[in-house]
Structure 1
Amino acid sequence: MTSHSIFLNSRPPYAILSNPTISLSLPLFLPPPSPESSTTAMSAALFLLCLLSIPISAIANPAPPTDYLISCGSNNIVEEGGLKYIPDDAFITTGNKTTLTNSPDVWPRLRTLRFFPNADASKHCFSFPVIKEAKYLVKTIYFYGGFDGGKQPPVFDQIIDGTKFGIVNTTDDFAGGGSSYYEAVVVAHNKILSVCLARNQHTPTGTSPFISSIEVHHLLDSIYNSTNFKENLLVTVARNSFGSEADIVGFPDDPFNRYWQPMKGNNPAEESKSNATVSTFWNVPPEKVFASAAMASKGQNLTLNWPAFPLPSAHYYMMLYFQDTRAPSPDSWRVFDIYMNGWKFFQSLNISTAGQSVVGAPWPLSGQTEITMVPEKDSPVGPVISAGEVLQIVPLGGKTITRDVVALEEFRKGLNKVPEDWTGDPCLPKGNAWTGVSCSKKVPSRIVALNLTGFGMSGTLDPNIAHLTGLRHLLLGNNKLTGNVPDLGALKSLITLHLENNQFEGPIPSSLGDLPRLKEVNLQNNKLDGVIPETLSKKQGLDFRI
């Protein structure tokens, strides 16, 4: 994923944004482009192009926003750029907090961070209550500041729910005196949205994933609405206003605090003499991004090499914004065709002073991208372009089946000293399942084994454990569990049950003998009483120990 870097002692953290394998920074550094050409990608692609305009009434009454502005590691509310960032303690219970003592001139919310030294944990998750099926923009911000006494930031993964959406690599940004941010757009498929960090093969031994700030913004339904969010999320690659040398545009001009980076480029620029009607745009861009535009003279093509860096071969959401920069009049219109790497993106676009936008999604891109606007024959003026957004379309990694998640959450509530990584999705992404949890390979995932032997846990065995109907192995030996052994008769797939060396009391459930696949039961060294059910003592092929 592309990271965006932020200057440390000027405006609030503004930058340009990313794709899932590249961090976003100023300047932006990306990995080498895929050898697959954009022409090859295009030949197999399906895409959608729409001229975008919606009535004002469609966005006049959005649902109440549920936003979170978090200053990680802070003990106090931090005010910055008209926004208030709260401490992160309500959203995470793991990790350590620290204050950067050698960086007094950075923005307030970058002076603290939370880091995660436990290398045994598969991931470390922040949990945000959200509106199920609502759309959110998630922004993660990182400033290393040498918090651990090192000279180079660690590299690690970032995850939303069950999907890895980027590799955090802030090395170049930090060396250049900047911080980095990443941005994703996702629909919440549950009532909790988890934002997680995890070590990967590039994380040096002895280093810790860290984070400075998180923003979660509730978006209007219209924003990026041509995306299939049931199967994908979006990761921001670039968001620019063209022909501009002004400051980066963010909050309050953009109520969702999206960062619009100015890009002067080599084309002539012109200031707008009219106001765009931004409320009619699906993505509701800020009016300030229409203040100037890149342009070409009468009869000339307008060409942009944008984004200004090569892209990995993938499918992208591409939104372009246009406005006739002349004063409103009956002649305030322009007509031109748009080409993307030589392929027709839109034909005979007729723009006015009110403004228009054009979207292509999914659009295949690879390497350097060239956008060419060709004026209609005998057009009295040349093409113009005001702004653009590029976001990579990333397939979702799937989810754990809801009833398994609910059952495991109830099981966890009855325990003390559960593993540190028991937050977020229990099974996904693959390689980042909760400690002691094994899952099926198919998505949606089922929990097939729990092995928490010798974790020193105390508490009770919640009856909801019986709702994990895909469970094959339940291994809870050598802990300090008390209370009764619940009825496990619903676990028809259970093969192995180990509850030895605990403090369970009461009778042995007779339903255990009715489990058709059960081969091994160990209940030794507990305080169980009563008779052994005949269903167990006479069960053929059962290794039963008590």
Structure 2
Amino acid sequence: MYIGKRHFSVFWTPKMGRSVLLLLWCVSIASSLAPGLKLLALAQQNPGFISIDCGAPNDYLDDDLDIYYKADAEFVDSGTNMQVSTRVIDLPFQHQSKNLRTFPNGTRNCYTLTPDEGRGNTYLVRASFWYGYYDGKNQTPAFDLHIDVNYWSTVDSTSWIYEEIIYTPPRDYIQVCLVNTGSGVPFISTLELRLLDNSTYQINSGALVTMWRFNLGSIDTYRHPQDVYDRIWANKTYEGWSSVSNTTAIVTSISNDAYKVPPEVLMTATQVQNVTDLLSLFWKSENSTTVWSVYFHFVELQLQENDIRELTVNVLNESVKTVMLENLKPVTIASFPIAGLSLDLTIKATDRSTLPPLLNALEIFHVSPLPNSPTFLDDFNAMYDIKRTYGVIRASWQGDPCVPMQYSWSGLHCSHDSSPRIVSLNLSSSGLKGLIATSISNLTAVVSLDLSNNSLTGSVPDFLAQMPSLEVLSLSGNDLNGSVPQTLLKKWTDGSLRLSLDGNPNLCQSDNCPTSNVQPKKKGISIAPIIASVAAVLALILLGALAVLWIIKRRQIQNAAANTTTTTFGGSTGTQGSTGTLRLSKNQHFTSTEVARITDNFRTVIGEGGFGKVYFGRLDNGTKSQ
């Protein structure tokens, strides 16, 4: 027996028995399912992660990162898979950077992520980009990146880069959208979501856009598996400052454990030379309205007996906090949001400190406002259900239906209150087929609904009359049938609804519709299965009756044979039964007395047939049995 990954051959003899065959079958099934089960197990080993290799042909495990990546087909419904140019594909970048998905059509194209934990949780969302000259044009595109309905960042780089945001979504989904701003075709290499502890990064409003995250005093960059949240800690050293390290295991502080900064990051630090020196860092923004948020991560690595390291942290010359470090115990200090064109960070030792300032790791964020509110949830869900039901393919039908206003879906008009509502839906001549979708009834703010010139079938549903805001309804040019609900006709006649129904030849619009038209169809009942079931029952009854008749006939024949004597004359057969008659041929009949005389009272047996013994006999004309 040979068992391969997807096929097997078995040599079997009856002596092997059913148990062996069952074992072989189970082994073969397990072998064929093993690759899928392995991928499923790998996918479950990163709880709280969604990892997408955009443009990849298949799912796989990145052994270096110990992260399971999925192809992106289930997260997006537009775009084209591509690969970076062969002249750069061998550069030592991570595997997931070699593929990409481009979006040559439409202004806004979106990925939809649905984390298991849903809304009310904080997530790190990271999008990575590497142009890689995939199109051979050597022209790096620039485009905008949105998270849900708000601006996130602008992408414009030839090198591999990533954009990262810490975000608490208002809904159970997160949409990441690439927006074409007229400076080239948008593309994306990787999209990743990581669930964070809600007690780590405090977001009073807006979101935190990552600017820098440094592993100070080190030449190594870390992410997963060292960082359970898969944050990227880039190595950073400063000329003139010393790097210090310690290989002793750190003591995890309960109060700061939620940050889970990797020990590999905390065991190195940058330090100034003298206790009186300032550890100063400076960054500048392109926007004077930038609001900064900074997280300082400390661990004491060198404290000796009688040493003191007490530090005061300042942001833009405002004191944030003073902290005394204990040996090998991590401490995180978060600054309050600070607005300004530039960011000045200063760490200085207090007067009683005997050791100079140090810093192990640093995270700097911009606080990004989220001014736009998404479309009212029922309207959002209804439009996506309509899109799926009818398979609507329109370039603009990506992301939120109403927001931002300049990217709203074609055929829609929305109100722009605090929670935008859809007030008009025009799907005329959109190739719609089938019944009128019940999800339309959830568009309770719709004033005008146009479904004309499609191929809609079935009856006009009564829920259309229950839509509270509907004033204009066009169903003309379809193949609707039955009768129009009286509630709709009443609204039409009293002038509260403008109704268009022409072009539906099988639709009755009067009060005197034929019974066949006005009888509502009973849901869930089909005559075809009933006919099939009845036919099957009748067939079984007929077969049973034939079987019973065959059994009765066979028993009659067997009983007759038991009480019958057969006599053969000249090749013809005669039967003697309880009736006392014998038929020798079509025109010859004998009584039992004549048969006894012909066979000399059944004297001589010459054989035995299917109906009993065969006797020698002689007719009066001399004919003898054979």
TM-score (norm 1): 0.76
Distance 1:460 1:262, change over 3 A: same
List gaps (5 residues or longer) in structure 2.
1-44, 513-626
Q: Indicate if the aligned counterparts of 2:85 and 2:135 stay in contact, CA closer than 8 A.
A: no
1:8-65 Cα deviation digits (max 9, x unpaired): xxxxxxxxxxxxxxxxxxxxxxxxxxxxxxxxxxxxxxxxxxxxxxxxxxxxxxx983
1:500-525 Cα deviation digits (max 9, x unpaired): 22222222233334389845332221
For the pair 1:350 / 2:335, whether they are aligned, the reply is no
Q: Indicate if the aligned counterparts of 1:69 and 1:215 stay in contact, CA closer than 8 A.
A: yes
For the pair 1:325 / 2:304, whether they are aligned, the reply is no
Deviates more, 1:403-412 or 1:253-262: 403-412
Paired with 2:443 and 2:124, the residues of 1 have a C-alpha distance of 33
| Larger RCO of the pair (alpha carbons < 8 Å, separation 6+) | 1
Structure-1 residue corresponding to 2:375? 400
Structure-1 residue corresponding to 2:312? 337
User: What is the CA RMSD across the aligned residues, in angstroms?
Assistant: 2.7
For the pair 1:489 / 2:459, whether they are aligned, the reply is no
Structure-2 residue corresponding to 1:96? 80
Instruction: Please report how far the alpha carbon of residue 469 of structure 1 lies from its aligned counterpart in structure 2 after TM superposition.
Output: 1.0
Structure-2 residue corresponding to 1:128? 114
For the pair 1:271 / 2:269, whether they are aligned, the reply is no
Paired with 2:480 and 2:288, the residues of 1 have a C-alpha distance of 56
Structure-1 residue corresponding to 2:48? 66
Paired with 1:368 and 1:455, the residues of 2 have a C-alpha distance of 52
Paired with 2:332 and 2:355, the residues of 1 have a C-alpha distance of 19
For the pair 1:110 / 2:97, whether they are aligned, the reply is yes
Distance 1:75 1:518, change over 3 A: farther
Instruction: Please report how far the alpha carbon of residue 279 of structure 1 lies from its aligned counterpart in structure 2 after TM superposition.
Output: 5.8
Structure-2 residue corresponding to 1:215? 192
Paired with 2:305 and 2:459, the residues of 1 have a C-alpha distance of 82
Instruction: Please report how far the alpha carbon of residue 420 of structure 1 lies from its aligned counterpart in structure 2 after TM superposition.
Output: 4.5
Instruction: Please report how far the alpha carbon of residue 332 of structure 1 lies from its aligned counterpart in structure 2 after TM superposition.
Output: 5.1
Distance 1:373 1:458, change over 3 A: same
Identity %: 25
Matches within 5 A, 1:33-432: 65-80=47-62, 81-82=64-65, 83-102=67-86, 103-106=88-91, 107-119=94-106, 122-132=108-118, 133-170=120-157, 174=158, 178-200=159-181, 203-204=182-183, 207-224=184-201, 226-228=202-204, 231-244=205-218, 246-273=219-246, 274-278=248-252, 280=254, 281=256, 282-307=258-283, 312-327=288-303, 329=304, 331=306, 333-346=308-321, 348-353=322-327, 354-361=329-336, 363-396=337-370, 397-432=372-407
Q: Indicate if the aligned counterparts of 2:452 and 2:474 stay in contact, CA closer than 8 A.
A: yes
Specify which structure has the higher proportion of helix.
2
Instruction: Please report how far the alpha carbon of residue 309 of structure 1 lies from its aligned counterpart in structure 2 after TM superposition.
Output: 6.1
Deviates more, 1:476-485 or 1:83-92: 476-485
Instruction: Please report how far the alpha carbon of residue 419 of structure 1 lies from its aligned counterpart in structure 2 after TM superposition.
Output: 2.4
Q: Indicate if the aligned counterparts of 2:127 and 2:163 stay in contact, CA closer than 8 A.
A: yes
Distance 1:144 1:470, change over 3 A: same
Q: Indicate if the aligned counterparts of 1:337 and 1:375 stay in contact, CA closer than 8 A.
A: yes
Distance 1:302 1:464, change over 3 A: same
Q: Indicate if the aligned counterparts of 2:129 and 2:161 stay in contact, CA closer than 8 A.
A: yes
Structure-2 residue corresponding to 1:10? none
Instruction: Please report how far the alpha carbon of residue 399 of structure 1 lies from its aligned counterpart in structure 2 after TM superposition.
Output: 1.8
Q: Indicate if the aligned counterparts of 1:122 and 1:433 stay in contact, CA closer than 8 A.
A: no
Number of corresponding residues: 454
Q: Indicate if the aligned counterparts of 2:292 and 2:343 stay in contact, CA closer than 8 A.
A: no
Pick one of 417, 438, 441 that aligns with 1:466: 441
Instruction: Please report how far the alpha carbon of residue 422 of structure 1 lies from its aligned counterpart in structure 2 after TM superposition.
Output: 3.5
TM-score (norm 2): 0.67
Give secondary structure in 1 for the equivalent of 2:289: strand
1:139-168 Cα deviation digits (max 9, x unpaired): 111111222332222222222222221222
Give secondary structure in 2 for the equivalent of 1:289: helix
Paired with 2:376 and 2:392, the residues of 1 have a C-alpha distance of 25
Structure-1 residue corresponding to 2:557? none
Give secondary structure in 2 for the equivalent of 1:381: coil
Paired with 1:500 and 1:208, the residues of 2 have a C-alpha distance of 40
Q: Indicate if the aligned counterparts of 1:298 and 1:380 stay in contact, CA closer than 8 A.
A: no
Paired with 1:190 and 1:142, the residues of 2 have a C-alpha distance of 26
Distance 1:365 1:511, change over 3 A: same
State the AA in 2 paired with 1:71.
D
Paired with 1:359 and 1:311, the residues of 2 have a C-alpha distance of 22
Paired with 1:297 and 1:148, the residues of 2 have a C-alpha distance of 51
Larger C-alpha radius of gyration, 1 or 2?
2
Q: Indicate if the aligned counterparts of 2:312 and 2:350 stay in contact, CA closer than 8 A.
A: yes
Instruction: Please report how far the alpha carbon of residue 215 of structure 1 lies from its aligned counterpart in structure 2 after TM superposition.
Output: 0.9
1:156-200 Cα deviation digits (max 9, x unpaired): 222222222122222xxx1xxx21111111223333222222223
Instruction: Please report how far the alpha carbon of residue 499 of structure 1 lies from its aligned counterpart in structure 2 after TM superposition.
Output: 2.4
Instruction: Please report how far the alpha carbon of residue 533 of structure 1 lies from its aligned counterpart in structure 2 after TM superposition.
Output: 6.7
Q: Indicate if the aligned counterparts of 1:71 and 1:78 stay in contact, CA closer than 8 A.
A: no
Give secondary structure in 2 for the equivalent of 1:313: coil
Q: Indicate if the aligned counterparts of 2:474 and 2:500 stay in contact, CA closer than 8 A.
A: yes
